[in-house]
Amino acid sequence: MKSINAEFIRLIPKADLHVHLDGSLRLSTLIELAQKEGVALPAYTEKGLREKVFKKQYASLPEYLKGFDYTTAVMRSAENIERIAYELAQDALAEGVRYMEVRFAPQLHASDKLTVADSVRAVVAGMRRAQKEHNALPAVKNEKDLPFHFGVIACAMRSFNAFMSPYYKNLIGALSQYSKSEIFGVASLELARLVVKLVREEKLPVVGFDLAGEEAGYPASDHIEAYRYVHKNFMRKTVHSGEAYGPESIFQAITDCYANRIGHGTHLFDADMIKDRKVKDKKAYVEALANYIASERIGVEVCLTSNLQTLPNIKSVARHPVREMIKRGLSVSIATDNRLVSNTTVSKELELLVKNIPLTRKEFKNIIIAGFKGAFFPGTYMDRRVFVRQVINRYDALVKKYLD
């Protein structure tokens, strides 16, 4: 009986539930579009950008985030965004991803020439083009390969400033009499209303609402109204939480934002990070929170490489809390976060996992299937069940052929 290996990982159907569009461009495309749009880059070769911007290891989170200054600068037109989304889907398909939820902050890309709504439409158009091409292949029609499905997740930002996009600049100017937290809340509610409208009137596959950005000092509670709105309109919710802040951030994501999934959740077990003085027994708080997440099947989107690059307290994959998450039966899926910035793929992330965390075959299969079961699938519940069954059948067939 063979162990799980790179070839098997490459062949199995995979899902990517946490991938940022603006962190996942092809380097060649970034260079080409920068030259076309007149965006200055530190280098104009892929090697040069890998050395100066998109590194294997970063000294700090700000250094990690620096690359987004360049990627977002070339994402100010529908044409560019559609191309980037199409290429992302192509790259994912090439490594065996058959379900993807691509997330981005539409307001971050809006400009005088691009509305927030048009930025969403552009992402959908690019993904649909790749989907149509793949699903027309003879292998898919003959059921020798799985079809490709996708959804779009709209990200609100926990905080922003006037320099991040023309949309944010105009909003801050129009609401100058309001506090920063109130302005952040207005922006997220506007986005929530827009994406619900796009789903309702145009049937766009916007399947989820997210909250991204710096956690410390920018609580999810600023965005309660936006989350209430999407919740009442049957949209699924995920929240970046527990990435750079403690268990309280995860608790707030679940209780204030009705989160169906948690983005990262890395500090779930770090009781020492709890700051609320009302919490007397921090260990019991963490135990109750972890048990609740497990029992309610609230998915946790784990991004190993990204965490190692941005969280210096995590020295290796072997010491990553994903091991404890799996042990406690949480619904864990493995994702890329940013394919360009972290120089990774879903296959690479899964290889890191199996090389550093002792897993049984059943545990590994559960992680793969969790990526599909936990999806904010754009079709009906029964459609998703049929697709998950196709995934399981395909997975089991590959086990018999390559591992048994």
Backbone angles phi, psi at 264, to 5 degrees: 85, -75
Whether 215 contacts 249, CB under 8 Å: yes
Query: Is 214 known to be catalytic?
Result: no
- Tokens matching residue 266: 């890395």
Q: What angle do CA 31, 35, 41 make, to 5 degrees?
A: 60
Cα–Cα distance for residue pair 20/342, rounded to 1 Å: 11
Number of residues assigned to the chain: 404
Contact 96, 12 (CB under 8 A): yes
Considering the candidates 243, 248, 301, 349, report the single residue annotated as catalytic. Answer: 243
Q: Which amino acid is at 393?
A: N
* DSSP element (H, E) containing 36: helix 27-37
Question: In 3D, which of 348, 362, 400 has the Cα closest to residue 10?
Answer: 348
Asked if residue 188 lies in contact with residue 226, where contact means CB atoms within 8 angstroms, the answer is yes
Q: Which residues, 6+ apart, have CB-to-CB distance to 171 below 8 Å?
A: 183, 186, 187
Q: Please, are residues 22 and 71 in contact by the beta-carbon 8 Å criterion?
A: yes
Phi and psi for 364 in degrees, rounded to 5? -65, -45
Cα–Cα dist 46/332, whole Å: 33
**Active site positions, annotated:** 243
